[in-house]
Structure 1
């Protein structure tokens, strides 16, 4: 049962080249969710190129003097935005845990928690997790698509090949 604290925030679709969505939290933090066209992900292999996007979540404005606090409405909001964005059943989204500040493990764990919570809300997505790189320098990625994606097997095979090729070049 949803209460006021885990009800999704209202969001707006700003559109644009990065398919940007925005919302404001109860702490007045402004988030931007972007689905950046990313044809390079699959090595420019048609037919995947026009349906490939990278998921990016940015804090656009934080009036607090610290990092944003945990917010139980974020998972529901992100799930609502995913539902809105995934109109085409062929859409594929890749999430890469950025690690410039050494917080990739934390981001990966948080994203997985959000996704698990959104699955409980009835979303029909498949998420496959990959780890790119060597033992000491690596990054987490998640491949997300609708369960009814007609090219699911091809996409998974292509992304697994990309993962293997990347890991071999890093050795």
Structure 2
């Protein structure tokens, strides 16, 4: 991943963003004293081109009220990511605490702006596990990405494959 400019991010971000070099993530604290981090982890799920998994973490675990300045700050970081990188961004909802549906709604609220843009494709998907629980994922990619078609096709094929049920009919001909 190409280095992002903190000056550019902070020129549009309502919260001061700092880079934590040791952990390779961007951090900021809201007016409500809630600490957030944003990370872009290299991902090899899509092999057609460069892709990163987007991670947004409330690293203190403190409850955060709805704060549009957090959204604006996160979007400033993501915009800088896209301005420097010809890469796809993958989002996979955390599922460990059963709050994935709420996280997905928040993700749609924050990143739905990309679905209204001619510049980006925002492609949310649902993946069902063995117990038919819903897991949420999304692809965000600039439409001018040279690998756009390949990455979108690979993402949708991967989702289709993950959602297909194995054939349990063992019809063997003897």
Length-normalised TM-score, structure 1? 0.78
1:28 aligns with 2:33: yes
Aligned pairs for 1:59-74 within 5 A: 59-62=58-61, 67-74=63-70
Does the 8 Å contact 2:115/2:122 carry over to 1? no
Q: Is 1:144 aligned to 2:150, yes or no? A: no
Residue ranges of structure 1 left out of the alignment (5+ in a row) = 1-6
Q: How many residues get paired?
A: 154
Confirm or deny: 8 A CA contact 2:115 2:121 kept in the other structure.
no
Deviation at 1:123, TM superposition (A): 9.2
In the TM superposition, residue 117 of structure 1 has moved relative to its aligned partner by: 4.8
Compute the RMSD of aligned alpha carbons. Answer: 2.5
SS in 2 for 1:107: helix
Residues 90, 137 of structure 2: 8 Å contact kept: yes
- Specify the alignment match of 2:5 in structure 1: none
Which residue is equivalent to 2:121?
126
Q: Secondary structure at the match of 2:59?
A: strand
CA offset digits 1:39-94 (Å, max 9, x no partner): 1x12xx3x42xx211111111225x5xx2111121111111000122234521111
Match of residue 166 from structure 1:
162
TM superposition score normalised by structure 2: 0.77
Query: Which entry has the higher C-alpha Rg, 1 or 2?
Result: 2
SS in 2 for 1:33: strand
Q: Which residue of 2 aligns with 1:4?
A: none
